[in-house]
Amino acid sequence: MKKFKFTLSRMLDYKDQLLDEEKNKLALLRQKKQEIDDHIESLLRELDKLSETMLQEQERGITAFQLLSYESQRTNIRRQIEQLKKEQALAKLEVKRQVQVVVQATQEVSKLDKLQDKQLEEYKKMVMKAEELEIEEFVSSRRIVTQSQAQE
């Protein structure tokens, strides 16, 4: 009997490849989101540090120009944080969408894997039946030979 070959093996390989590509896209999107998160955290720390420095300088006495400079820096950082939070929300949405794509691709591969398993089981049953028939034929031919020798 010929060797088992899954009829949709090319399709399974293709779907596996697509799944890997989608997982890679997801990893990149998660990395991008993490970079945005890290940048926001960094800016928040910078804002806290700047506010603390400004407070210390105010206690010592600073000019209005210096105070305006600190406020300008703080405003600039807040704007950057606002912009990054918008990017963060968008990145979060992209990650969520890509997770759905990966789930869908995983389900497609899983369906093909199950179909392959089912076809393999059917193949094994056919092989067993073929082997049983061969054994029966062998036993039958042995009987015939034994009977014909006994009659002689």
- Tell me the per-residue pLDDT of 40-95, one tens digit each, with 9 for 90 and over: 999 999 999 999 999 999 999 989 999 999 999 999 999 999 999 999 999 999 99
pTM, two decimal places:
0.76
Q: Give the distance between the most distant pair of CA atoms in the chain.
A: 129
Sequence ranges of the domains in the chain = 9-116
pLDDT tier, 1 (very low <50, low <70, confident <90, very high otherwise): low
| Buried/exposed code over 122-149 (b: 16+ C-beta within 10 A; e: otherwise) | ebeeeeeeeeeeeeeeeeeeeeeeeeee
**Per-residue confidence (pLDDT) for residue 20, from 0 to 100:** 98
Q: Report d(CA 40, CA 91) in Å as an integer.
A: 13
Going by C-beta distance under 8 Å and a sequence separation of 6 or more, which residues neighbour residue 88?
33, 36, 37, 40
- Tell me the per-residue pLDDT of 100-116, one tens digit each, with 9 for 90 and over: 999 999 999 999 999 99
Looking at every residue in the chain, the average pLDDT score rounds to: 93
**Per-residue confidence (pLDDT) for residue 94, from 0 to 100:** 98
User: Does pLDDT of 147 surpass 80?
Assistant: no
